[in-house]
Structure 1
Amino acid sequence: MKTTPTHAAAAEEFLKDGERSHWHDDTLWHVRSKRDVAAQKIPEWEQLRNNASQIKDHVLSNLDNLLLQFEKNARENGIEVLWAKDADEHNQHVLRILEENQVKNLVKSKSILTEECGLNHFLEDKGYDVVDTDLGERIIQFNKQVPSHIVMPAIHLKKKEIGDIFHEHLGTDAGADDPAYLTEAARQHLRQKFIQAKAAITGVNFGIAETGGFVVCTNEGNADMGTHLADLHIACMGIEKIIPRAADLGVFLRLLARSATGQSITNYTSHFHRPRKGKKMYLILVDNGRTNQLGREDFRNSLKCIRCGACMNTCPIYRRSSGFSYGSTVPGPIGSILSPGMDLKKHSTLPFASTLCGSCTNVCPVKINIHEQLYKWRQVITKEGPSQPSKKWAMRFGGNVMSKPKLFDMMGNLARKSLSISPRGFVYNSFNAWGKHRELPEVPKESFKDWYRKNRKQ
């Protein structure tokens, strides 16, 4: 059975290309900087974050009632509502709908939930033509990859590489990498797919319990194009995406795009309430581990996430190691607190892929305490989950030393003297992972305790 590489091993592979790693880092920091500028233009920014967080607190405490209210109103609007306890049931619902409506060609706008459920591969294996219509998603679909970022799925690719992909799949000029030229080629290619498709699949950014309607946010208008032309619209929604009232929507729309890309709002904010005459609309409400996460007191706040990606754009680990190093549908800090709840063994290294600097928490538009949850997952994993024997031994040894002041002082003195006289090869070698890319600071002549004893009277 194929084993999933640890985050550290996958990150090391990405870091072998130093130029790409630095470029990836700089690109995402640029997006983070745009977010800061956009936020600073809103005097009430922190109040918006507080409001959004409190609304989500209400949602998580009343999720069952809000979902039932949402279902009732959606059905009254003429939407067929289905429930799925896991990814397999979600995929089976989609398959049944397509079979009943005799659909073979479908277009899909960006949906992290369907990526989470593996819908594309599931349908392709059964002979369906599934076309991702978001430009970034289409690029990685051509490249047989999964998204490396939840908002910018092809952020790991440079324009020359995209040009080569389009040359192979769309017949663009060899070596052409002008973004306008490549975008126009994609537009012409996708237009034919929109016209041919009989069904459109979208995600859902917000479901509104009060009205039974839902909102899809895009920058390319591809969700609108697909749903307007197709006879069948299938919307796939994680149950945590519910909000109570239409009046609450404005709070989240002001936060979402600014946090994601630094825009004031997404170019298209599309509201769906009912199917048009002669057409059908289905809404699939998906659990897939969400109620389990809701039941974890320390981690339930992770379900507040509105999938803006701000925590990824600011995270020094994600920026340097790329989304592929996480091995999960949602990478970065938020993925590192969501994924262990789905499969602790597979994702046991993710909570350790963090400096615990708190930058992710600081930029989160709904105030998820991400860095605190990362720390708590570390405690759970160390206690219950798999861990390297060498790390367990080192932690036991370190804990024993730090619990005995005299032993701690003795070991500190020994370490200072040893490091000051040791040859470089003794300190910087294959056993010292931290020394691969770092230099230790100059060894101090005395401990802080010794210095303080000498100088405290001054």
Structure 2
Amino acid sequence: MNHAIRADKFLLDADRTTWHDETLWFVREKRDRAVYAVPEFQELRELASQIKDHTLSRLDLYLQEFEAAAQANGVHVHWAADAAEHNAIILDLIRQQGATRIVKSKSMLTEECHLNPYLIQHGIEVVDTDLGERIIQFREEAPSHIVLPAIHLKKEDVGDTFHLHLGTEKGESDPQLLTEAARQHLRAKFLAGQVAISGVNFAVAETGGVVVCTNEGNADLGVNLAAVHIACMGIEKLIPRLTDLGVFTRLLARSATGQPVTTYTSHFTKPAAGKEMHIVIVDNGRTQQLGRPDFRASLKCIRCGACMNTCPVYRRSGGHSYDFTVPGPIGAILSPNIDMKKHRSLPFASTLCGSCTDVCPVKIDIHTQLYKWRQVLGEAGEIPASKKWSMKFMGRLLASARVYGLSGQFARQALRLLPHGLTHAASFNAWAVARELPEPPKQSFREWYQQQPKSVPQPQTPQVTV
């Protein structure tokens, strides 16, 4: 099932689609106001981009430096080549503790590796402690956004979910009451948690520490109450020095939600007395992307979600239509690297308007990479035959001025003479389902131009004054 077919399902609910579109655009507008308040914001973007470019160019060295510093801090470092190895390492660490109850803060990497169902299958209770993540965990859904995982749901949907799982009153939709119910529910889970799992927003090679950014403080509460902390990070999360961190924290929250900074920016460098800290460093296709010169810059992504909030396709099709952990424009770049065949439709789910590139805090050329993926998919034969042959046909048509002119004449006559129900039939012209074509002109510009008198201007003799 490709993106267009999944998007059709989301579009069936016109009111929800409109609400989703307007809500994300509201977040985009908040981002703009936060950005305009910082005169040096563009300089920060350029500096962040250069720091990431530098880090990726020496990633092997910085990974070794990070490992050595972390181990010197008393942290256990583990390496995972793929999702299966990542999950196996974490299950082994949990079993070493004899634990059966896990609290987990938001981590897109663990979503990417499908850690939750893996642990549940092996008898481990996993509780997502981020409010949005807990809501979709109750509903057995995937996140639809990397920062706002439940953005596709309305407060009435949350009320129905909490009535079913937390026993709140049926029909309750007051956000404050629903949040309080979640707080009371999660507090007991925090106290019972034996192992805490977190993601990593940034990893500092110089110090061997990891940084986790949240607005709810759930990562801090989980880590400080549990005996063991497991931090899961992709290899691209590295930055070289602690002094680099301020550049990214000024960019991240402003780009994500329009805040000056996240409510909690937590540094985890070494385990507390009597506790353990583990860091699992994961590849899972990242070195393959690093080896693709045209797509290497996608690894600079700091997972702010700004490209999703501005993308006209994402806003109107919903995150689940991408069928990938990271949806939206940046996900459409990352996903074919993981599975080209499965995700071959995603690079085409874009207008190539460039708005995603304009808002990216680390200046990833997102729309350019989407265009390049289309070329790669075409050369690999991973595009539908209908698209392939229609593009070949259009290429030949546009290469001949005579054929192009004749086709224009035919199209204008057809639109005038054929019934509207035929020219705008959904089975024949999907483009016109939600659009109305303008009235066809009687002649093209080329025909009009050829009918105009061709007067040749006479050269004027310059007058010389003696």
With the shorter chain as reference, the TM-score category is over 0.9
Out of 58, 62, 67, which is 1:62 matched to? 58
CA–CA distance in structure 2, aligned partners of residues 325 and 385 of structure 1: 23
Name the CA distance, whole Å, in 2 between partners of 1:20 and 1:305: 29
Matched residue SS, 1:291: helix
Cα distance in 2 for partners of 1:160, 1:18 equals: 17
How far apart are residue 411 of structure 1 and its match?
1.3
CA distance in 1, matches of 2:449, 2:234: 56
Q: Which residue of 2 aligns with 1:45?
A: 41
Paired residue secondary structure (2:79):
strand
2:293 is the alignment partner of 1:297: yes
Tell me what 2:429 maps to: 432
Structure 1 Cα separation of the partners of residues 204 and 382 of structure 2: 40
State how far apart, in whole Å, the 1-side matches of 2:365 and 2:299 are: 11
In 2: Cα distance, 1:360 partner to 1:448 partner: 35
1:452 to partner: Cα distance: 4.9
Within 5 Å, give how 1:147-296 maps onto structure 2. Answer: 147-296=143-292
Change (3 A) 1:455 1:10: farther
Matched, 1:10 2:2: no
State the distance in 2 between where 1:455 and 1:50 align: 54
Aligned to 1:314: 310
Matched to 1:185, the amino acid is A
1:299-349, Cα deviation, whole Å (9 max, x unpaired): 111000000000000000100110000010000000000000100000000
User: What residue ranges of structure 1 are gaps of 5+ in the alignment?
Assistant: none
Change (3 A) 1:357 1:230: same
Matching residue of 2:100: 104
Mapped contact 1:28–1:314 kept (Cα < 8 A): yes
Deviations 1:40-69 (A, max 9, x none): 000001111101111111011111111110
Give the superposition deviation at 1:456.
Answer: 9.1
Paired residues of 1:345 and 1:385 also in contact (CA < 8 A): no
Q: Which residue of 2 aligns with 1:443?
A: 440
Q: Give 2:433's aligned amino acid.
A: K
* Structure 2: distance between partners of 1:289 and 1:154: 27
Does the CA contact (< 8 Å) of 1:351 and 1:374 recur in 2? yes
Larger radius of gyration: 2
Between the aligned partners of 2:428 and 2:229, the Cα distance in structure 1 is 55
Deviation sequence 1:399-433 (CA, Å, 0-9, x none): 11111121112212221222222211221111211
Structure 1 counterpart SS, 2:273: coil
Structure 1 window deviating more from structure 2 (402-411 vs 198-207): it is 402-411
How far, CA to CA, are the matches of 1:21 and 1:89 in structure 2?
Answer: 38
Equivalent residue for 1:396? Answer: 392
**Distance in structure 1 (CA, Å) of the matches to 2:435 and 2:454:** 33
Residue 412 of structure 2 corresponds to residue 412 of structure 1: no
TM-score (norm 1): 0.97
1:184-237 deviation line (CA, Å, top 9, x unaligned): 110110000000011100000000001111100000000000000000000000
**C-alpha distance in 1 between matches for 2:192 and 2:419:** 70
Aligned mate of 2:19, from 7, 18, 23: 23
Q: Distance in 2 between matches of 1:83 and 1:246?
A: 23
Distance in 2 separating the partners of 1:173 and 1:304: 45
1:383 aligned residue = 379
SS at match of 2:196: strand
d(CA) in 2 for partners of 1:123 and 1:455?
A: 79
Structure 1 Cα separation of the partners of residues 279 and 317 of structure 2: 36
Is the Cα–Cα contact under 8 Å of residues 6 and 349 in structure 1 kept in the other structure? yes
Quote the Cα distance in structure 1 between the aligned partners of 2:61 and 2:441: 61
Identity %: 62
SS of structure 2 residue aligned to 1:285: strand
Superposed counterparts of 1:361-372, under 5 Å:
361-372=357-368
State how 1:304-383 maps to structure 2 within 5 Å: 304-383=300-379
User: What root-mean-square deviation, in Å, do the aligned CA atoms of Structure 1 and Structure 2 show?
Assistant: 1.3
Q: Distance in 2 between matches of 1:145 and 1:48?
A: 36
Q: Is the 8 A contact 1:344 1:385 kept in 2?
A: no
1:95 partner amino acid: L
Q: Write the distance in 2 (CA, Å) between the matches of 1:187 and 1:451.
A: 71
Distance 1:323 1:450, change over 3 A: same
Give the 4+ runs in structure 1 shifted more than 6 A.
455-458
- Which has the larger displacement, 421-430 or 114-123? 421-430
Question: What aligned pairs does 1:117-136 form with structure 2 within 5 A after superposition?
Answer: 117-136=113-132
- From the superposition, tell whether residues 422 and 137 of structure 1 become closer, same or farther in structure 2 (CA, over 3 Å): same
Q: Are the aligned partners of 1:348 and 1:385 in contact in 2 as well (CA < 8 Å)?
A: no
In 2: Cα distance, 1:270 partner to 1:403 partner: 59
Counterpart CA distance in 2 for 1:36 and 1:170 is: 37
Measure the CA separation in 1 of the matches of 2:250 and 2:62: 23
Matches of 2:205 and 2:402 in 1, distance apart?
Answer: 62
Deviations along 1:79-102, whole A, 9 cap, x unmatched?
A: 100000000000000011011111
* TM-score normalized by the length of structure 2: 0.96
The offset of 1:455, in angstroms, is 8.9
| Structure 2: gaps of 5 or more residues | 458-466
